[in-house]
Amino acid sequence: EVQLVESGGGLVQPGGSLTLSCAASGFTIGSSWMYWVRQPPGKGLVWVSRINPDGSGIGYEDSVKGRFTISRDSAKNTLYLQMTSLRAEDTGVYYCVKSIIWGQGTLVTVSS
Amino acid sequence: DIVMTQSPDSLAVSLGERATINCKSSQSVFSSSNNRNYLTWYQQKPGQPPKLLIYWASTRESGVPDRFSGSGSGTDFTLTISSLQAEDVAVYYCHQYYSNPIAFGGGTKVEIK
C-alpha cells in the first residue's frame, strides 16, 4: 500500500526554523515527482515545493524561495522540507503529495 | 504553468437536490497517449486532509457513493452530486496532475440551503 506520513510540525517563533519529514512506503520516492502542499487556516491548497525523480527539477513557490529547501534521503525513503526564517503567513497544514496520494498533514504554527 | 479556475466559490443546495461544481484549466489536461484526463476531485471537511473522490476526471474512487460523478474533458470539467446529503457539506477542490507543477482550483464550499 502506498502511504505517506508527515511529521515535524509544531509551534515556532517568527524567524525560527523547522524541518518537516515525509516517510514514504509502498513506492520509491526517488522514482516520482514529490510535492509539499500547504493549506493556510481556512484557505485553499497551494504547492510550495517540488522535486522531480532525478533531482534536477526542484522548484519553490515564490513566497518561500530562499527560505525553504526540499530534499530527500533515498536510503530512508523520506522527503524533507527545511524551513527557515519562518513568518506568520507560513502557518498552515503541510501535506506531502505524490500524484493523487496524500499524507495526513502536519501543522506548522508560526507565532510569538 | 496550468491555472485551475473553479466556480462557484460557494453553493447552497437543498437536501436531495443536485449540486454542480465547475472547473476549468488554462491548458488541456488530456493525454492522447492513454486517452485520460489528469484531473481529480477532492472533498475536504474541517480538520481533515483532502479525500479523493474522482480521478481520471470521471473514475470514482473505491467507496465513494455513486451520487458523486465527474465529467468533462480537455479543459472543462464538472463534479455533480446528484442528491445532496447532509454529510456532503464540505469544500471541494479540483486538481490537475497532467503537468508539473500540479495545480488546484480555489475550492467550492457546499452548504445546505
Amino acid A56: pLDDT:
85
Residue B84 distance to chain A (closest CA, Å): 23
Residue A39 distance to chain B (closest CA, Å): 10
Residue B83 grid cell:
442528491
Amino acid A100: pLDDT:
86
CB contact under 8 A, B52 and A104: no
Amino acid A81: pLDDT:
98
Read off the pLDDT of each residue in A30-39 and give the average, rounded to a whole number: 94
Q: Tell me how crowded residue B34 is: count the other CB atoms within 10 A of its CB.
A: 9
C-beta of residue A104 within 8 angstroms of C-beta of residue A37: no
Q: Which residue of A has its CA nearest to B6?
A: A44
Rounded Cα gap, residues A35 and A54, in angstroms: 14
Rounded to the nearest integer, the mean pLDDT of chain B is 96
**Residue A54, pLDDT above cutoff 90:** no
Amino acid A61: pLDDT:
93
**Residue A55, pLDDT above cutoff 90:** no
Amino acid B18: pLDDT:
98
**Residue B2, pLDDT above cutoff 90:** yes
List of E strands, A10-76: 10-12, 18-25, 34-39, 46-51, 59-60, 68-73
**Residue A67, pLDDT above cutoff 90:** yes
Q: What percent of chain A has pLDDT over 70?
A: 100
CB contact under 8 A, A95 and B49: yes
Q: What is the pLDDT of residues A91-111, one digit of tens each?
A: 999 999 998 899 999 999 999
Q: Which residue of A has its CA nearest to B55?
A: A100
CB-based contact (8 Å) between A2 and chain B? no
Amino acid B14: pLDDT:
97
Rounded Cα gap, residues A23 and A2, in angstroms: 11
Residue A59 distance to chain B (closest CA, Å): 8
Residues of chain B with C-beta less than 8 angstroms from the C-beta of A33 = 100
Q: How many Cβ pairs within 8 Å bridge chains A and B?
A: 42
Q: What is the pLDDT of residues A68-87, one digit of tens each?
A: 999 999 999 999 999 999 99
Rounded Cα gap, residues A11 and B12, in angstroms: 36
Q: Which residue of B has its CA nearest to A61?
A: B101
Q: What percent of chain B has pLDDT over 70?
A: 100
